[in-house]
Amino acid sequence: MLIGTASLAAAAGLPMAADAKARKKPAPHTPAKGATTMTNPSYVTTKDGTQIYFKDWGPKTAQAIVFHHGWPLSSDDWDTQMIYFLSKGFRVVAHDRRGHGRSTQVSEGHDMDTYAADANAVVEHLDLKNAVHIGHSTGGGEVARYVAKFGGNGRVSKAVLVSAVTPIMLKTDAFPLGLPISVFDGLREQTANNRAQFYKDLPIPFYGFNRDGVKPIDGVIDNWWRQGMTGSAKAHYEGIKAFSETDLSGDLKAIDVPVLILHGDDDQIVPYKASALEAIKLVKHGTLKIYEGYPHGMLTTHADVINPDLLAFIRA
């Protein structure tokens, strides 16, 4: 996610006093060589020791939809979609990116390669196959890298990029449509100097609440702030480089499954002309839909429209 130039124990009960000697302790679980380990039912521990929090709702035999959130939020940003698709009979999975939400606030690994590897750790742990991966904003970049790198062997059936940072956000000689580095330097400065206030200001253009006739929704703004402030300032600061400077062109070209690209033409965060209109040129099996007047956070503001469109693509 990013700003465009114009705006940027369980309580453990004591065991019954019974015949303790008669109880046999279960043999300790030994993970396969090279595999990730899990210390809590809602976490996967990656190879570098990072604990990635995830939600896994619905029937385990149903087709899975995996959601990848944007910067600087958490899997909670997908709650509306997860409840919707759960009601349609799907299994829904979402994780908090490292340094975000409830995942470990580690010092290192805030780059797109590691983001994708962490997502793969969740997928492998749950042994998801034939899954649909949906990413919003930075999460769209994560989906592109994940599907290109780990999506073989029947793991992925389709991918969706919503208001995504693909193919690249930064203006370069090879990509003159991108935003200047000064935009991202400004994001870093605000994140470092007064993150709490910045995260109150940013949802306004994010959801288009600064447009004429659009009434801000306090609960939506507060929820955005809550999610952002739960994460690590260092992860958010370093994540700006990840979502702005990572060139995902090669990843888009490598994806072999159908890809749906959705974007609002009033996105003040990730301008659609430099993202969706360019990304669609790079995928092999792509479908593009632009929504007139929709903001960056259209999954929240226009869920009544976007959710059925996602469902139609998944079921097609």
Give catalytic residue positions.
Answer: 137, 267, 296
Distance CA(92)–CA(214), nearest Å, equals 31
Spell out the alpha helix ranges (H) of 207-275: 218-230, 233-245, 249-254
CA distances from 115 to 120, 141, 142 (A): 9, 10, 6
- Coil/strand/helix, residue 9: coil
Selection from 139, 271, 261 nearest residue 205 by Cα: 271
Q: Write out the H or E segment, with its range, that includes residue 279.
A: helix 276-279
The pair of structure tokens assigned to 99 is 């340094």
Selection from 76, 100, 52, 115 nearest residue 230 by Cα: 100
Q: Write out the H or E segment, with its range, that includes residue 116.
A: helix 112-126
Distance CA(121)–CA(142), nearest Å, equals 13
As a whole number of Å, the CA-based R_g of the chain is 20
The pair of structure tokens assigned to 108 is 């290192």
CA angle in degrees (0–180, nearest 5) for 186-197-105: 80
Question: Residue 29 in contact with residue 103, Cβ under 8 Å?
Answer: no
Distance CA(9)–CA(252), nearest Å, equals 43
